[in-house]
Structure 1
Amino acid sequence: IFPEQCCPSPTHGYPGALALTITDEIKGNFPAIVEAINNTIVEAGRAGRFGTWPVATGYLHSIGGVEVAKLALEKKLDIKDTAAVSKVMGEIAGTEINMTRLSDNGNFYMYIIDSIIFGE
């Protein structure tokens, strides 16, 4: 059993709870932030007990949403093509994203990203 946030993100609670400082060197660098969290959890003997997504959902929504919109406006992406949208979002997240459309006639997607388990 391990806790995972309602809005999974390496920056949602972990840095504060673990007294980590997000330095200028790792700001916005999710792999580096994940590594710092992982090292702290492992050092505390809690490997395998905490998990989250590898990227902040807010970051992914903002950066990914802008990139999808930009590509759609440039006629390089059909926003109704779930696989194409998922690919763009996955590139931003740095991992595969499982995505589906909320409805056939709307512009909403649902997605999930595999969790990382710290210390594994």
Structure 2
Amino acid sequence: MENNESIPFIKSIGGRISLMFALLMITGIAAVAVISVLQSGNALTDASFNQLRAIREIKKGQVEGYFNERYADMNVLSNMLEAFKQRSFGELRTIQQARNNELEAFFSDNGGPGLTAHLPPHTVRI
């Protein structure tokens, strides 16, 4: 047998129609496959970028929260320092006044003119 037996199938109208239909189906399936691959790639890329944006916003909130907490901590420490300073100065004034009173009493008890008589008039008392 010769190879001419397959040729009559292609030469017949039914064979040609079947061949054209098969080629159209293969072309359509290939086009749908290519479009699907491209769209799925774009969808995956968009989903990845959306996840990264969400993570960025979460991290941004965490960093801002951290610095807000540190700022509040600094304010608390600053207020504590101011209160400690005021208290310390108050205690120093009390101690200074007590020492001045003791010196006044010592000089006035020993027959002296008193401590304030020996101080210049422009001396500042705390």
TM-score of the alignment, normalized to the shorter chain, above 0.5: no
More helix by share: 2
Higher RCO (CA 8 Å, separation ≥ 6 residues): 1
More strand by share: 1
Q: Which has the larger radius of gyration?
A: 2
TM-score by length of 1: 0.20
